[in-house]
Amino acid sequence: MISRLFRRTVLGLVCLGGLVIASTPTVQLLAQAEQPAKWETNRTTQPEDLFELQALQERVTQVVDKCTPCTVGILIGVAAGSGVIVDEDGLVLTAAHVLAGEPNPLTGEFPPYKVGQECRVVLADGKRVKAKTLGVNSDIDSGMLRIIEKGPNNGKWPYATVAKSADLKKGQWVVSLGHPGGPKRDRPPPARLGRIENVTRDIVRSNCTLVGGDSGGPLFDLDGNVVGIHSRIGLTLAHNLHIPTEEFRKQWDALAAGELFGKVAKRASGPAPFLGVTFPEDDEDDAWITDKVDPDTPAGKAGLQAGDTITKFNGEAVKSVKKFRELLAKKKPGDEVKLTVRRGTEIFTFTVTLGRRGA
């Protein structure tokens, strides 16, 4: 005979979701209870009853238990992010912007990137170990570092297997781990459950909740494989972008060897141009100037002001902060550029002579 509690649970499910359990005979319900449902790891639909919900919960618990030891926090300068260990020798995948450190508060520009810079990796139990930065691709936002201390398993580190993000399907369930707000004492990396919204060659999009500090952390499928690395938060905390693992695979050996790609490589090859404005943190936002412009900067000397939105760079449309930085990275100190700016309802064009960072 079904217990009073079980009857109440079934009735509640029927009221909430209109499940067909209401018409299921008692004997069949008991048989289901004796044979718990199994959750297929690539499933793209929601749980249909209490037993499937329990099966999903058990699967997620297994992933979290398996993957927590290889999910780490990263401390570099005053910046904090996340990462994941992917081989027994301590190789860590993360986002390039985590390794880039904090931008200059006045200019919004990042300091020159240094391969081999020492940083700290925070383990799930709170212990901190030494690591060194390796290569990055700042255009893709991929980066690597390596722990330089011996691991706890006869010198080896616990690690997660890297799978193909291209095999992900829309609606597939995934688990996000990371360190929201940066690593916290006595707090292992929190887990958040979500689903895949879209997969392209360049990006994986999920609705796993992410906040600052999660950047560089791993996105796992329900087999516990890494399928993405957290890159950017979307318009909401539950609309997020991850770097596909294929993007890491394309340059795996080069990144591990300390090679630089994208804007970071351009900065490393010579002095970067300097404008002297601060933009929103979200690269997909409009290129509008968020803070007061110092009159001694190239932007200030040209007449740009806080609140201005840059809409064109030498006649080319600028629809995001990311696009502006890409165009600026192609220039060098001393170059003159024409910036079209929207200020309120008016449009202005300024000629700016780019300076040298640090000048």
- The C-alpha atoms of residue 15 and residue 175 are separated, in whole angstroms, by 29
Tell me what pLDDT residue 268 has. Answer: 54
Q: Which residue has the tokens 């300091």?
A: 111
Two structure tokens written together for 48: 């249909």
Tell me what pLDDT residue 106 has. Answer: 58
Task: Single out the residue of 221, 222, 217 nearest to residue 232, CA to CA.
Answer: 217
Tell me what pLDDT residue 59 has. Answer: 95
With vertex at residue 323, the alpha carbon angle to CA 297 and CA 76, rounded to the nearest 5 degrees, is 70
**Helices 50-67 and 4-17 meet at what angle, rounded to 10?**
90
Tell me what pLDDT residue 322 has. Answer: 85
Tell me what pLDDT residue 207 has. Answer: 94
- The C-alpha atoms of residue 56 and residue 77 are separated, in whole angstroms, by 39
The CATH number assigned to the domain with range 165-244 reads: 2.40.10.10
Two structure tokens written together for 163: 């799978």
At the fourth CATH level, which superfamily is domain 272-356?
PDZ domain (2.30.42.10)
Q: What stretch(es) of the chain map to CATH 2.40.10.10?
A: 165-244
What is the Cα Rg of the chain in Å? 24
- The C-alpha atoms of residue 224 and residue 83 are separated, in whole angstroms, by 15
What is the three-class DSSP state of 181? coil
**Strand 91-95 to 309-313 pairing:** unpaired
Tell me what pLDDT residue 26 has. Answer: 47
Q: For the purposes of burial, counting CB atoms within 10 Å of the CB of 240, is it exposed (0-12), middle (13-18) or buried (19 or more)?
A: buried
Task: Single out the residue of 126, 119, 60, 65 nearest to residue 92, CA to CA.
Answer: 119
Q: Within a 13 Å sphere around the CA of 330, how many CA atoms are in the beta-carbon half? A: 8
Q: What stretch(es) of the chain map to CATH 2.30.42.10?
A: 272-356
Tell me what pLDDT residue 235 has. Answer: 63
β-strand partners of 73:
82, 122
**Low pLDDT (below 70) residues in the chain:** 1-36, 101-111, 235-236, 265-272, 357-359
Tell me what pLDDT residue 21 has. Answer: 36
pTM more than 0.85: no
CB-based contacts of 296: which residues, under 8 Å, 6+ apart? Answer: none
- The C-alpha atoms of residue 243 and residue 93 are separated, in whole angstroms, by 11
CB-based contacts of 31: which residues, under 8 Å, 6+ apart? Answer: none
Tell me what pLDDT residue 267 has. Answer: 57
CB-based contacts of 131: which residues, under 8 Å, 6+ apart? Answer: 74, 90, 92, 118, 119, 120, 121, 145, 146, 147, 148
Q: Within a 13 Å sphere around the CA of 124, how many CA atoms are in the beta-carbon half? A: 21
CB-based contacts of 12: which residues, under 8 Å, 6+ apart? Answer: none
pLDDT tens figures, 92-144 = 999 998 998 666 655 556 667 888 999 999 999 999 999 999 999 988 999 99
Q: Please report, as a single letter, which amino acid is at residue 112.
A: P
Tell me what pLDDT residue 70 has. Answer: 97
Contact 122, 32 (CB under 8 A): no
Backbone φ, ψ for residue 127 (5° rounding): -65, 145
